[in-house]
């Protein structure tokens, strides 16, 4: 008899514990949802430009435009450099940070210009499992109506199809990447822009102007 009473008491305790746990979870539900909403605010697509996996980017000082591959996995943008000259260059890369640098860039049409800038910092780039150091400078890049001064890694991209890689430091806050964009016709792109969720007046206005440049990417 005592054993039966003991089992009944244990069951009551377990039921009470489950009830308390469920009440706590239900009570915390709105708080948890609020916390998630606070940490991940909704993205307003209508305020962003639509960019494809490849594009053309202009550099402000040289006034040259470059074929660029869009890479959302890259933190910093990167540009192919033919050669450079550093003021009072030191053999130690770290000692050159802050010094003036002249870089010679060349685009896909073999147009070349010298650009003057300053070495802002040194970045580490992993290539074929080997870590290499690269200089970073500030350049002003332009895509239609968007103009940003961003850090750009100086690199040897001579074996690559695109002399420029467009990273998140240029894309962030202003662009949505559509990987199918270059496969679409002009009319199809306009249909996408007419959708309420993706409509962007600025993008639509400059699209016709950039059509000729987009054809050169193929």
The span from the CA of 204 to the CA of 49, in Å, is: 9
- 128-148 per-position pLDDT tens digit: 678 889 999 999 999 988 999
- 78-107 per-position pLDDT tens digit: 999 999 999 999 999 999 999 999 999 999
The span from the CA of 13 to the CA of 16, in Å, is: 5
- Cβ–Cβ contacts within 10 Å for residue 39, how many? 7
**Cα 86 to Cα 62, 93, 100, 125, 127, distances in angstroms:** 18, 11, 6, 21, 24
Cβ(127)–Cβ(93) below 8 Å: no
Helix or strand (DSSP H, E) at 192: helix 186-194
CATH for 48-215?
2.40.70.10
Phi, psi of 2 (to 5 degrees): -60, -35
The span from the CA of 78 to the CA of 152, in Å, is: 5
Cβ(51)–Cβ(124) below 8 Å: no
Between 124 and 154, name the one with better pLDDT.
Answer: 154
Cβ(4)–Cβ(12) below 8 Å: no
The span from the CA of 44 to the CA of 162, in Å, is: 30
Helix or strand (DSSP H, E) at 148: strand 146-155
The span from the CA of 131 to the CA of 129, in Å, is: 7
| pLDDT at position 45 | 63
The mean pLDDT value for 182-203 works out to: 48
Cβ(169)–Cβ(140) below 8 Å: no
Tell the burial category of 30 from Cβ atoms under 10 Å away from its Cβ (0-12, 13-18, 19+): exposed
- 166-179 per-position pLDDT tens digit: 999 999 999 999 88
With H, G, I as helix, E, B as strand and everything else as coil, classify residue 111: coil
* pTM assigned to the model: 0.63
């Amino acid at each position: 008899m005592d054993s039966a009473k003991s089992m009944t008491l244990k069951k009551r305790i377990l039921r009470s514990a489950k009830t308390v746990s469920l009440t706590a979870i239900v009570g915390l539900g709105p708080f948890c949802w609020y916390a998630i909403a606070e940490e991940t605010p909704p993205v307003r697509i209508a305020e962003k430009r639509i960019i494809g996996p490849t594009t053309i980017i202009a550099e402000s000082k040289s006034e040259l435009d470059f074929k660029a591959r869009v890479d959302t996995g890259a933190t910093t943008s990167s540009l192919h450099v033919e050669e450079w000259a550093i003021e009072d260059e030191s053999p130690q890369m770290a000692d050159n940070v802050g010094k003036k640098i002249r870089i010679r860039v060349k685009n896909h049409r073999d147009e070349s210009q010298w650009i003057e800038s300053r070495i802002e910092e040194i970045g580490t780039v992993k290539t074929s499992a080997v870590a290499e150091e690269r200089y970073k400078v500030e350049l002003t890049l332009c895509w239609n109506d968007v103009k940003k001064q961003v850090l750009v890694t100086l690199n040897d991209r001579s074996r690559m199809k695109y002399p420029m890689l467009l990273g998140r430091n240029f894309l962030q806050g202003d662009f949505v990447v559509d990987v199918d964009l270059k496969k679409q016709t002009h009319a199809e792109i306009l249909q996408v822009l007419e959708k309420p969720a993706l409509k962007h007046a600025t993008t639509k206005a400059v699209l016709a102007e950039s059509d000729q440049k987009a054809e050169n990417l193929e």
